[in-house]
Chains A and B, each alone.
With several copies, the nearest count.
Chain A
Amino acid sequence: MPTIAPSAAEAVAGIRDNSTVLIGGFGNAGQPMELINALLDGGATGLTVVNNNAGQGDAGLALLIKERRVRKIICSFPRQSDSWHFDAAYRAGEIELELVPQGNLAERIRAAGAGIGGFFTPTGYGTMLTEGRETRIIDGRGHVYETPIHADYALIKALTADRAGNLIYRKTARNFGPIMAAAAKASIVQVGSIVATGELDPENVVTPGIYVTTIVQINATTPAAAEHGVTQ
């Protein structure tokens, strides 16, 4: 059963220095901005962060990187037109980068949640990103060995939670949320609304409550929860 935190600050208060933190979102869609800001305010440092990108503009993850709180980032696409804080940290040698093809990143996160010890994927075979890695020819095709990405925490944004922690998402803001919730020891979720247990249709739950540790309601600017999936 999840805890319902009264504020983003209290939701992330347990995050210690040197933790590995999965952060959901693809661009701004699904980015748990208020949780990231609370993490910034909380002061934890030496973090390993897993996100598709490495921060945009002057907000959220970009500020965590600017403040040198991220020791290492595991991502697929760090360089963007407005990734200047990452660019500066990287060129200064002050952040470690593990670059992973996006689908391997997603599958490695999924593997962690699913208890898979490692897997062979064709993606990246024969490229500089997998140099020196274990390879195997399977059905005539080259594959590389990839390992799960386990984490201490996941910070996620969903549309609606019920009090049992079941989650639904909205459109392409779903992206990394479900797999990150399952891969972390503790998953902290910001939602637009919290409804009573029983108000989400069991057929339509995307993340079962077993994967959710802490919920915090943030008054979101996105359309209301009532729009999707709530039966009452």
Chain B
Amino acid sequence: MNTQEKGARLGRDELAALVASDIKAGSYVNLGIGQPTLVSNYLRPEQSVTLHTENGMLGMGPEAHGDDIDEDLINAGKIPVTELPGASYFHHADSFAMMRGGHLDVCVLGAFQVSATGDLANWHTGAPDAIPAVGGAMDLATGAKEVYVMMSLFAKDGSSKLVEACTYPLTGVGCVTRIYTNDAVFLITADGVRVRETFGTTLAELQQRIPVPLQAAPLR
């Protein structure tokens, strides 16, 4: 088989570093709130990746600290950030036009569940008493050329978050192209789910716990 099996399950930062290294040089990227934000720590300057934040900016720099904090300069998570040379500001309709129009190369998002055909559930647990809040989740899922999900592969009860069909309310239909987890990287293709690499486990072991047919991906 072609899947690369590597030594150990990836830690949180190793996973972020892997995602960062997979982003092509010169890409325009939106990193969702939470775990995906970590990816920015591992982007190398020579990659020339330009970060978008949906509240109206391209060329976002790292989180601001101390005297650099400016209440007029925040990211979509409302965290103070900085501005890099070559940045630009625009209003909300222009910012979401940029996303919806398919101009971002990659969007990295967290998820509750992803289906075998790339449906994404990441905004709502579906709990009857929950107050729903969607923000830009559906726009991010729908707009980017590639949607990478970063998530733990198994829920706390041990069930797979890669599923045949999402049971949580959907964020987008057929939008996810890759899933990065601590145990393996999955590619969602027209031919089904392919396992690109595993970390401290094997495709056979994963198949026993994941209710979706898995195939090995061709070597990169």
Contacts and interface: CB of A to CB of B under 8 A. Distances in A.
Contacts of B96: 102-103, 106-107
Contact of B88 (A113, A129, A175, A208): A208
B20 interface: no
Nearest to B171: A127
Interface stretch (A38-46, A60-68, A115-123): A115-123
A210 B139 contact: no
A64 to B, nearest CB: 18
A175 B26 contact: no
Interface string B122-145: 001000001111111111001100
Contacts of A162: 86
Interface string A104-141: 10110110111110000111111111000000000000
Interface stretch (B8-16, B56-64, B194-202): B56-64
Contact of A106 (B70, B92, B134): B92
Nearest to B90: A208
Interface string A173-193: 111111100100000000000
A211 B55 contact: no
B97 A78 contact: no
Nearest to A164: B86
Interface residues of A, number: 70
A124 B172 CA distance: 7
B53 A123 contact: no
B190 to A, nearest CB: 13
Contact of A175 (B55, B75, B103, B139): B55
A1 B135 CA distance: 29
A103 B57 contact: no
Interface in B158-184: 169-173
Given A26-B74, A102-B92, 14 more contacts: A29-B73, A30-B72, A78-B133, A97-B132, A104-B139, A107-B93, A109-B93, A114-B97, A115-B102, A121-B100, A123-B100, A172-B53, A174-B89, A210-B104
15 contacts: A1-B48, A26-B78, A78-B132, A80-B133, A86-B131, A99-B134, A102-B96, A103-B99, A113-B103, A128-B169, A169-B89, A176-B91, A179-B91, A197-B85, A210-B50
Considering the complex of A and B, which 4 residue pairs feature the smallest CB-CB distances, nearest first?
A198-B85, A103-B96, A115-B100, A114-B97
